[in-house]
């Protein structure tokens, strides 16, 4: 099923360039999450970091699950940022992708919750892929 979809979603070269730059500057929470999932550590699934999707850059993306994982810092509590995130998530979901959001605190201080949430999603999704 998943192979029928491009992983690039009509991304511009500018967005690709920005994503590449962001890969070198992960936040501490993003770096911790990357260590959880890199090299297919999470259920044998490949995750990409700072992956361009159209005009957006997802913190993490698993093509096989069609899953975007966002790691949100305190800035995401701001009203304007919440509105932007809501629209961004809507556009991403229109592409047939799912979105899971974690806070920096979740990733840094409650990794069991993050792992459990991802594993539950993976098990649910595996039943349909």
Beta-strand ranges (E) seen in 1-129 are 48-53, 56-62, 67-72, 98-103
**Which ranges of 66-110 does DSSP label H, i.e. alpha helix?**
79-94, 104-109
Q: Which domains does the chain have, with CATH numbers?
A: 2-126 (3.40.960.10)
- Tell me the pLDDT tens digit for each residue of 36-49: 999 999 999 999 99
Banded model confidence at residue 6, pLDDT cuts 50, 70, 90? low
């Amino acid at each position: 099923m998943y192979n029928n979809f491009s992983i690039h979603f009509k991304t511009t070269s500018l967005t690709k360039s920005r994503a590449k730059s962001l890969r070198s500057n992960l936040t501490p929470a993003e770096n911790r999450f990357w260590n959880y999932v890199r090299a297919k550590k999470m259920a044998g699934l490949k995750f990409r970091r700072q992956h361009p999707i159209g005009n957006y850059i997802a913190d993490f993306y698993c093509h096989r699950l069609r899953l975007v994982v966002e790691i949100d810092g305190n800035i995401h509590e701001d009203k304007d940022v919440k509105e932007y995130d809501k629209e961004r998530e809507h556009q991403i979901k229109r592409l047939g992708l799912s979105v899971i959001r974690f806070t920096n605190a979740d990733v840094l201080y409650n990794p069991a919750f993050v792992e459990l949430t991802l594993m539950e999603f993976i098990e649910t999704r595996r039943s349909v892929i």
